[in-house]
Structure 1
């Protein structure tokens, strides 16, 4: 019944093979009944000389095909009508058996169906060939973006579970060309593979079937990237290293990004702390967005940089807002918001890295040379500065946690990460704690334990895949945000509010320079002699200079 209810409002292309079969069956049944009704009505009038209404004929046909008995029409005098009635009876029995097999039995049997029958028609879709993380997080992300996909899962029970939950999943071996063909690999545009040591075999098999495939591969180590590139992988991602770099960048990103040519325009990061009353508030309704002299340049949302953020984006304890405007106004608005962090330094000078594996090494490499870094690991083979249990206070004190300005937690176990966060917070209430967790569900407990910023491997990987589908880059550092001054002629006559209204272009107007002073009030109307202060990523500013700035 669930499958039938899903048919309403669906485009035929979105229907699964089974749903299409049900539609064909229903249409065929209706057609047979209507045809028999017309023929029976004609026969009663011309052969039996007993004309009757079409509705009476419809009733008799239904009674015959369902074998529930006849009304007052029987018996029939002519041979032709008797043969016709027998034909209807046989047809009814056949349809009854088909109905039993197609509709009734599948409703009561747990696994009677080929999972391929549940796939909708695919073209230009994503094939996910194994995924060793939380598959539901990835597939939910793709479905939210309305991205077509097929997951090839080698574990039969897992494939059935995902298919029963409504996902486009089949059971198969991604190294088998026939199984990839079942996922329409020849029509796919992107292959995502997370198959460990089998990755090379999966990629080569897929490229034999479709040499135009774009391939993204997850790998445990950055050391495998050259080999994967050699076999045709377009992008290799080591999730732990990726997040390690991101946490390090976040720990050392300058709070004051810059000023507009010496004018009093400051760009500052503001972190929404755990327990903030702003939790769940949309950007549109936040105090910063409503401030006439401030501009929301960008926002970090679970590790994704959005320049500028959408008014519909909602603030969470993992949100970092990048705000531009007069420094005094930023300070005032920050104080009014309450429970946000406004760092006093432009960057962290002493950083402790807990966990010196793949992620910890990536974090160390991403930290500036002038930053004092102390690494911790429980294994002597890791060659960390401090060897010991990161959850023990003695170990954290030996690493200088009480004097550190930031702690980057990159341990592999989520339970260990949470305990490390809690212990560090108890030893140093003012340290900024940036943590990595594997399970997306552990992000909230990490905040409660005392973390200021948390990234989930599962969530980041899912969003990275979704971004790759659209050819976007994710995890770009905030240091890419630039302030430039440009000629304001393209905006003459517009208010700053109008100039800021487009949130899709990747850059935003901070204010105008007039008579040596910067004006950021959204009601200010741009005049011919003004200069425009624009903020955005490197790429967006370059696009602005090519397409908008005429100076």
Structure 2
């Protein structure tokens, strides 16, 4: 608010000084160059008329060249000042006078989440909370950003920590605080909240991991590094050793494997639905999920047409997966993981992958002892030298989203079937990176929203991708029904991947190549695959199926 006033006062002082100088020079010029005396007040009148471009009274003609040049210069200067004053000074001043004042105290709202400082790391979380109708207040120190947030419907408090404007009275109505400012500012805000006897949860996001302990000592319940969280999310997507695509498969039998296949441009599966293809009957493999444009769909819609580039996740024995591989291209499960970019995210990512025994190659532009190849990742020859063709997965860990987008395009052209995982700074760029060729893209905003959403509101709030798991259940509630008539995927989100036939309680044969027409028997044991919420829904719907 002070800035427009400062501009206005500076302008007034400048205009007064200009008038006095122009009037004095004109008075002296008329006397010594034109031979006509003018008093100061007449000269001041001339200066005012000239600078404001309103015209002249008595004086409108001059003889001496220097006088003519001076008068013309003052005229042009006055015109430039007039044209500049309106946009630079007057409009901001009027805006500051008439725009609404930003609140500087916490609103009368109960059970709200206070977010200190807006930024990419918290944008998805705030959006998710708004969608869930959870009251959110953003405490912002930047006035223009505060107004931008208010114009988009957010509850905003504008206050400066350095100038002592921060007023946290009413903090007892807050359910949790998320500190997203500079590390030292986070510590100050957390300490202030604790001094006011706030006993709710406080979570802080830090730029420098070594500041974690001091912020914990300030009163935070937990401190996270968004960069390290992003690296962990990328590592989980890249390595089965960190986060298996489907867990619990071993309970079915040693012969059952998880397969991932890409639907290529010329694939017979492209443009057809799973129902049309009769994948289970034709190959013996069970499709449990589909990766499409970075979204994991489980169970897959059997009527939806399959797109080129979709990654199919299937369960089956080696023969069944080989048959499915005739329809789509199996993803290579051997070879190293190639990490491109070795900044903070890249370094932590490599550390996590190597800690679980993964073979990792690193490519980056800036020299570092850990690099396998040093060069421009946007150069196809450098990518080939780094082993892009032999890699199992490539992870893009650039600091700029535009670089990740361009690199994804180049890599997809060189290696059409190679899985590409990209780190993205801003959540709004995820779709662009997908269109460029990346199979998976994660932003700092996403992983922070998942992490803090889980901490604040539990797993049902966190919008994390589902982790698939195989579990067993009794078939008694479905005895006499075929798999198609039981309609388990539609009713529970779980897919039957195997059936164990028992005779008088004795363990029998496990059928891994089941079809929708197979009829279930009273003593059968079902092996189903689904996310955790699907498993809960299954046993909630059919409690008699639970194995004691």
In 2 relative to 1, CA 498–419 (structure 1 residues): closer, same or farther, beyond 3 Å?
Answer: closer
Q: Does 1:530 align with 2:527?
A: no
User: Does the CA-based 8 Å contact 1:379-1:388 persist in structure 2?
Assistant: yes
**C-alpha displacement of 1:489:** 4.3
Q: Counterpart of 1:125?
A: 112
Deviates more, 1:288-297 or 1:121-130: 288-297
**Equivalent residue for 1:392, pick from 373, 379, 383:** 379
Partner of 2:351: 365
Taking structure 1 as reference, are residues 498 and 402 closer, same or farther at Cα in structure 2, changes over 3 Å only? Answer: closer
Q: Is the 8 A contact 1:118 1:168 kept in 2?
A: no
Deviations 1:255-308 (A, max 9, x none): 6863553287554445678999999x9xxx963799695866566688787876
Distance change in 2, residues 1:414/1:384 (3 Å): same
Kept in 2: contact 1:356–1:382 (CA 8 A): no
Alignment partner of 1:111 out of 92, 99, 118: 99
Aligned CA-pair RMSD: 4.9
Aligned to 1:550: 547
Q: Could you tell me how far apart the structure 2 residues matched to 1:134 and 1:492 are?
A: 50
Change (3 A) 1:302 1:228: farther
Match of 1:186 in 2: 172
The equivalent residue for 2:238 is: 251
How far does residue 317 in structure 1 lie from its aligned partner after superposition?
9.3
- What does 1:166-181 align with in structure 2 at a 5 Å threshold? 166-173=153-160, 179=166, 181=168
Conserved? CA contact 2:205–2:223, under 8 Å: yes
Q: Is 1:412 the equivalent of 2:402?
A: no
Which residue of the partner structure matches residue 431 of structure 1?
418
Q: Is 2:230 aligned against 1:261?
A: no
Question: Cα 1:215–1:322, aligned 2, differ >3 Å: closer, same or farther?
Answer: farther
Scaled by the length of structure 2, what TM-score is found? Answer: 0.63
Deviation of the 1:352 alpha carbon: 1.5
**How many residues align structurally?**
432
After superposition, give the CA deviation of every residue in 1:339-393 in whole Å (9 maximum; x if it has no partner): x7641x3x34212111112211222133265533111233335743333333234
**After superposition, where does 1:286-297 map in structure 2 within 5 Å?**
287=274, 293=280, 297=288
Deviation of 1:245 after TM superposition, in Å, equals 2.8
What are structure 2's unaligned runs of at least 5 residues?
A: 1-94, 502-507
- What pairs up with 1:144-543 in 2 under 5 angstroms? 144-173=131-160, 179=166, 181=168, 184-197=170-183, 198-253=185-240, 258=249, 260-262=251-253, 266-269=257-260, 287=274, 293=280, 297=288, 322-324=313-315, 342-343=330-331, 345=332, 347-367=333-353, 369-381=356-368, 383-472=370-459, 481-489=468-476, 492=479, 496=483, 497-501=486-490, 503=492, 509-514=496-501, 516=509, 517-518=511-512, 520-521=514-515, 526-536=520-530
TM-score of the pair, normalised by structure 1: 0.62
| C-alpha displacement of 1:401 | 2.3
- Distance between the aligned counterparts of 1:167 and 1:155, measured in 2? 15
Change (3 A) 1:218 1:290: farther
**Structure 1 residue 502: deviation in Å?**
5.1
* CA shift in 2, pair 1:325/1:397, >3 Å: closer
**Which sections of structure 1, spanning at least 5 residues, go unmatched?**
1-106
Partner of residue 84, structure 2: none
Larger of the two Rg values belongs to structure: 2
CA shift for structure 1 position 154? 0.8
The verdict on how the C-alpha distance between 1:235 and 1:523 changes in structure 2, with shifts beyond 3 A counting, is farther
Question: 1 CA distance for matches of 2:344 and 2:449?
Answer: 20
